[in-house]
Chain A
Amino acid sequence: MAAAKRPALPVILLANDLLDGDVVFAAGDANGLRWSRDPGAALVGDDDATADRLDAFAAAELGNQQVVDAYLVDVAIEDGVPVPRHYRERMKTTGPSIRRDLGKQAELPLAQAFLRA
């Protein structure tokens, strides 16, 4: 479900993969969007047009049964990396704060960068 009210720009789109539940991020460029497990790869929507594209991608992919719980998240750009502004979504992009050996923070250097926030 896309969020009813769009958050403030800039935004990224995240969701959970249908098959395994892992958090995925809409990545890509003007030529097309795809899902990436790396938050560092997330396409940042910093204008209404890109945010609309992300919204449309969410709706399409929910319909295609690729992902669940897809929604836009407002981010701040820190050292070139989009970091969710809200601590809940930061948790979602890193993994449990009490088990740094689990989740994205254990596997992906860019997720580790989020921990600074």
Chain B
Amino acid sequence: MYRYDEFDERFVRERVTQFRDQVGRRLSGSLTEDEFKPLRLKNGVYLQLHAYMLRIAVPYGTLSSKQMRQLALIGERYDRGYGHFTTRTNLQFNWPKLRDIPDILDLLADVEMHAIQTSGNCIRNVTADHFAGVAQDEVEDPRPTAELIRQWSSLHPEFDYLPRKFKIAVTGAEHDRAVIKAHDIGLRILRHPDTNEVGYEVIVGGGLGRTPMIGKVVREFLPKADLLAYLEAIMRVYNLEGRRDNKYKARVKILVHEIGTEEFSRRVEEEFARLDGPSVNADPAEVARIAAYFAPPAYEALPATSGAFEAARAGNPDFARWVETNLTPHRQPGYAALTISLKPIGAPPGDATSEQMRVVADLADEFSLSEIRVTHAQNLVLPHVKLSDLFAVWQRLGEAELATANAGLITDIIACPGLDYCALATARSIPIAQALAQRFADPVRQKEIGVLNIKISGCINACGHHHVGHIGILGLEKRGIESYQITLGGDATENAAIGEILGPGLAAEDVPDAIERIVSVYLAQRQSGESFIDNVRRIGLAPFKAAFQDSNREVSHAVA
């Protein structure tokens, strides 16, 4: 894992001191709310419905056990004993008091964490594949790239007041688990087909929200050494030409869309050619220094299989089911990456109590080289567990209600906080997720349905990624009541797609039946081994629309 150097440490500490002073001036009345708001947002402090909210950055989703324990402590001491992991792999506390936030930031700085640039019109927390360094389909670990971007973009003077927020994601694998095509910039590490050199495919202009777009490839192959200069060229074109007159048209996706990919790309290349590359690109020694922190840990040389593991699996059907859904093969023989579901049936997706955080931290220390990952699907990962330890880990997770066997299945639902907490929300998200999880709780049925991603947002801003859910649910207000719009066919992977609306909005209580109808069409029409999303692609929307509209006619509460 990356460790702060003296510069990082000083930078974060100075920022805490600065914010402590700003809070003091706010409380004494020398700063008005209008003056203070942009300052607090730059430090991750929002005002939500019931309280302030603090959003803490978890860069590229990597956490140490020590950091997780500190989050548990903060949750207990300054919040209500729990936190919420988000689709940007951040952690949100829902109840901090403004006066306590400087102390919280000091506690974060003690473990090399902060809340800088988790809000505001700047480059946000950089995300990456949660199986970075572990995945078998990986060309290269994306985290050194993400860390380099984090350092470059932190308080970058030229890009601190962009037209709008800016999100970057990196993957080093063939299979995209970081949703790179729905980011302002998505980077895919790949090998050049002719030279075998490692470089980046650069994708720009993806994004969800009010105007969902899939990112466009603006550079098929960028040599690794040119990364920062090329990013700087993109940011300059955007900073100069992105619209500042209309916040709904201010994201880079709108610029790319309006001038076209080719023209955008041409302007970036022009700027890139003009830039003094060597003065912008990172010093190779610094790149090597960062990369060294992400070198593979000290694995033991183990056989590829474990007799104890196979015996436990054969003797315990519940364990076998969990292994089937929550385990990911590891590149190191004898190890596995395991997904800790934060989606127990009926619980708010992504929430973890301080006790649960400590259990995960303890397990990471004992069994996963002290490392934890946060996924954009609001789950946690222990990335380096020996096969022979899996049964013990599973039992301990079970005692903490963390052993739900549903990773990737229909009850592994992404949901934003929605109107239960969020001041921007137009409807609730979490109760919909809870009702759906309860409806589809039966493990046999979940297995039969297979991989199916439901993603729920409580407003058009799409924090719940509903556009790229196989089934997406968007909560809106219609004539004073909550109404839910269902989309179908979205995809968050390398085959990224925006879902299409199935029909009129539904009342909350009618959503589970509607989803049931959609699933029934799939089960009736699928071919052997065909996943839900493949089935939707093959047969098209029409059969699902018909079933959806039938269900819509039957219910009396449908909202037009």
Contact = CB atoms under 8 A, between A and B. Distances in A.
Interface of A: 16, 18-23, 62, 64-65, 68-69, 85-88, 91-92, 95-99, 102-103
Given A16-B47, A65-B32, A87 B431 contact: no
B521 interface: no
Interface stretch (B49-57, B246-254, B323-331): B49-57
B481 interface: yes
Contact of B430 (A22, A87, A98, A102): A98
Contact of A68 (B47, B49, B99): B47
Nearest to B433: A98
B419 interface: yes
B98 A95 contact: no
Interface string B60-82: 00000000000000000000100
Contact of A65 (B29, B80, B97, B482): B29
A21 B50 contact: yes
B421 interface: yes
A98 B434 contact: yes
Contacts of A16: 47, 51
Interface string B80-122: 1000000000000001111100000000000000000000000
B97 A98 contact: no
Contacts of B216: none
A97 B52 contact: no
A65 B36 CA distance: 11
Interface string B246-288: 0000000000000000000000000000000000000000000
A18 B50 contact: no
B26 A97 contact: no
Given A21-B95, A99-B420, 10 more contacts: A19-B27, A19-B97, A20-B51, A21-B96, A65-B27, A68-B47, A86-B480, A87-B481, A97-B431, A98-B430
B98 A18 contact: yes
Interface in B415-466: 419-421, 423, 425, 428, 430-431, 434
A49 to B, nearest CB: 28
A-B CB proximity, top 3 nearest: A21-B51, A96-B420, A20-B97
B212 interface: no
A14 to B, nearest CB: 11
Interface string B469-503: 00000000000111000000000000000000000
16 contacts: A18-B98, A19-B98, A20-B52, A23-B50, A65-B27, A65-B28, A65-B33, A68-B33, A69-B423, A86-B480, A88-B49, A88-B419, A92-B50, A96-B421, A98-B430, A102-B50
A98 B47 contact: no
A98 B420 contact: yes
B59 interface: no
A87 B27 contact: no
B275 to A, nearest CB: 42
A21 B47 contact: yes
Nearest to A103: B50
A21 B97 contact: yes
B29 A91 contact: no
A68 B50 CA distance: 12
Interface in B16-49: 26-29, 32-33, 47-49
B427 to A, nearest CB: 8
Contact of B482 (A87, A92, A98): A87
A117 to B, nearest CB: 12
A20 B420 contact: no
A85 B430 CA distance: 22
Contacts of A87: 419, 480-482
Contacts of A22: 50-51
Contacts of B80: 102
Specify which of A18, A20, A21, A92 lies most central, judged by the most chain B CB atoms within 10 Å of its CB: A21
Contacts of A91: 49, 419-420
B118 to A, nearest CB: 17
Contacts of A99: 348, 420
Contacts of A92: 49-50
